[in-house]
Amino acid sequence: MMNLLKRVRWLTAGAMLLTSLHASAATLVLGGKNFTEQYVLTEITAQYLRSKGYTIDARTGLGSTLLRSAQENGQVDLVWEYTGTAAIVYNKITEKLDPKTMYERVKELDAKRGLVWLDASPLNNTYALGLPQEEAQKTGIRTISQLAAKLAAEPHKKHVFAMDAEFANRPDGLKPLEAAYGMQFSRAETRQMDPGLVYTALHNNQVPIGLIYTTDGRVKGFNIMPLEDDRHYFPAYNATPVVRKVTLDQNPQLATQLNALSAALNNDIMLEMNKQVDVDGKAVHEVAAEFLRTHKLP
- What is the structure's pLDDT at 25? 41
Task: Tell me the CATH number for domain 28-124+236-294.
Answer: 3.40.190.10
255-295 pLDDT per residue, tens: 999 999 999 999 999 999 999 999 999 999 999 999 999 99
**10 Å Cβ neighbour count for 54?**
23
Instruction: Tell me the H-state helices in the chain.
Output: 2-25, 36-51, 64-72, 83-85, 99-111, 133-139, 144-153, 165-169, 174-181, 195-203, 217-221, 245-250, 254-263, 267-278, 284-294
- What is the structure's pLDDT at 265? 98
Strands 127-132 and 209-213: antiparallel
Task: Tell me the CATH number for domain 127-226.
Answer: 3.40.190.120
Residue 24 predicted with pLDDT over 50: no
122-149 pLDDT per residue, tens: 999 999 999 999 999 999 999 999 999 9
Domain map (residue ranges) of the chain? 28-124+236-294, 127-226
